[in-house]
């Protein structure tokens, strides 16, 4: 059996401590081996579930350690490109939190560096690794709801903490970059298509978008979605066809928001429900990343896919009217 891929985490973020760190630790073929943080207190949460974790006092120290194979980057948004490139230059594979870039054209240098080094680099867009999304994609493309007519998406939560990075414009905060990637990327993943026309309305607070209402025309269907960081927590995706409806009840935070379920609504069969109570998309993401590195397996969302979602975000900002 081959040695596990040794992962290092660049920065002791709360999300890494609660979700991605434990996922790397639990994933088959992976070992959480290193953490870079200048604050030893922030390492405590990681050491609780991974007591043999090596803690580095700088990012560069982690990047230059030859025992580390792969770097996970959960830094603030505006630092993602810089440190992903540095990790690739250091000979490490890279999985970087979304949004991996602040503008779509920044993906070009990441793609070029990936190709030049022959290393794996990807955005941590975890939902496409969850079986509910792979199933929905198959159902829609196989005609389970007939011709797809409309896609609807909703994703919201409440965060009014002015010090939180999601509410700070200078570090790339805002709802579209934080959660718009989900309602946009999910539609692109299922249909395999890109939007032709986009219209949007955005509400801002302190130069950060806190609500966005988006309409789009895909080649074969219409699309509408809203995201907000100032509304009661809610999430849902709908795929409405001529012969049925597919509804996902916890499309983006499975197990956290609730049990992942697919509801298939059809006239003659009523409602058929498929449940996914145990699947952890963070663990599945790490395992898929490892298979691509080791076996050359196709990765569900290469950098080219992630660039397409960022293109859609950029276009929303370009055309949006201010509420």
Tell me the pLDDT tens digit for each residue of 288-310. Answer: 999 999 999 999 999 999 999 99
Q: Which of 30, 109, 105 is nearest to 291 (CA)?
A: 30
Model confidence at 1: pLDDT above 80: no
Question: What does the alpha-carbon distance between residue 318 and residue 42 come to, in Å, rounded to a whole number?
Answer: 38
Residue 269: predicted pLDDT: 74
Tell me the pLDDT tens digit for each residue of 194-210. Answer: 999 999 999 999 999 99
250 half-sphere exposure, CB direction, 13 A CA radius: 20
Structure-block tokens of residue 107: 């993906």
The domain limits of the chain are 5-124, 127-282+308-322
Residue 202 in 3-state DSSP? strand
Residue 105 in 3-state DSSP? helix
Residue 152 pLDDT level (bands cut at 50, 70, 90): very high
Residue 306: predicted pLDDT: 98
Tell me the pLDDT tens digit for each residue of 109-138. Answer: 999 999 999 999 999 999 999 999 999 999
Query: Across residues 22-45, what is the average pLDDT?
Result: 96
Sign of the CA dihedral running 261, 235, 245, 148 = negative
Q: Tell the residue number behind the tokens 């080219």, with chain if given.
A: 304
Query: Across residues 223-239, what is the average pLDDT?
Result: 98
- What's the chain's average pLDDT? 97
Q: Which of 156, 171, 204, 152 is nearest to 320 (CA)?
A: 204
Reported pTM: 0.96
Model confidence at 268: pLDDT above 90: no
In sequence order, what are the residues at sequence separation of 6 or more whose Cβ sits closer than 8 angstroms to the Cβ of residue 7?
Answer: 24, 30, 31, 32, 33, 34, 68, 69, 70, 71, 72, 286
Domain at 127-282+308-322: CATH architecture: 2-Layer Sandwich (3.30)
Residue 275 in 3-state DSSP? strand
Sign of the CA dihedral running 159, 160, 164, 170 = positive
Tell me the pLDDT tens digit for each residue of 273-293. Answer: 999 999 999 999 999 999 999
Are 32 and 9 in contact by the 8 Å Cβ rule? The answer is yes
Residue 100 in 3-state DSSP? coil
Residue 165: predicted pLDDT: 94
**Is the CATH number of domain 5-124 3.40.50.720?**
yes
Sign of the CA dihedral running 263, 264, 266, 268 = negative
Longest distance between any two alpha carbons in the chain, whole Å: 62
Are 96 and 124 in contact by the 8 Å Cβ rule? The answer is yes
Residue 106: predicted pLDDT: 98
């Amino acid at each position: 059996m081959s040695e596990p891929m040794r992962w290092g985490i660049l920065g002791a973020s709360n999300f890494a401590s609660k979700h991605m760190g434990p996922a790397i630790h639990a994933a088959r073929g992976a070992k959480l081996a290193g953490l870079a943080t200048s604050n030893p207190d922030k390492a405590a949460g990681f050491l609780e579930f991974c007591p043999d974790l090596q803690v580095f006092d700088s990012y560069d120290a982690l990047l230059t350690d030859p025992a580390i194979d792969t770097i996970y980057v959960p830094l603030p948004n505006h630092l993602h490109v810089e440190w992903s490139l540095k990790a690739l230059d250091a000979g490490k594979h890279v999985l970087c939190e979304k949004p991996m870039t602040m503008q779509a054209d920044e993906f070009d240098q990441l793609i070029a560096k990936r190709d030049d080094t022959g290393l794996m680099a990807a955005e941590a867009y975890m939902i496409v690794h969850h079986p509910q999304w792979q199933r929905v994609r198959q159902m829609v493309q196989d005609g389970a709801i007939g011709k797809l007519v409309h896609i609807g998406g909703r994703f919201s939560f409440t965060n009014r903490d002015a010090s939180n990075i999601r509410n700070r414009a200078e570090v790339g905060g805002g709802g579209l970059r934080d959660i718009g990637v989900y309602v946009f990327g999910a539609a692109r993943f299922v249909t395999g298509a890109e939007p032709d026309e986009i219209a949007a309305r955005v509400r801002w607070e302190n130069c950060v978008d806190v609500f966005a209402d988006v309409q789009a025309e895909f080649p074969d269907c219409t699309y509408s979605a809203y995201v907000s960081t100032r509304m009661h927590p809610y999430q849902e995706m709908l795929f409405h066809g001529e012969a049925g409806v597919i509804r996902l009840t916890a499309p983006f935070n499975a197990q956290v928001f609730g049990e992942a379920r697919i509801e298939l609504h059809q006239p003659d069969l009523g409602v058929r429900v498929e449940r996914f109570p145990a699947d952890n998309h963070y663990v599945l993401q790490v395992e898929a990343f490892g298979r691509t590195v080791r076996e050359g397996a196709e990765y569900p969302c290469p950098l080219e896919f992630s660039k397409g979602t960022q293109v859609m975000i950029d276009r929303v900002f370009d055309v949006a009217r201010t509420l």
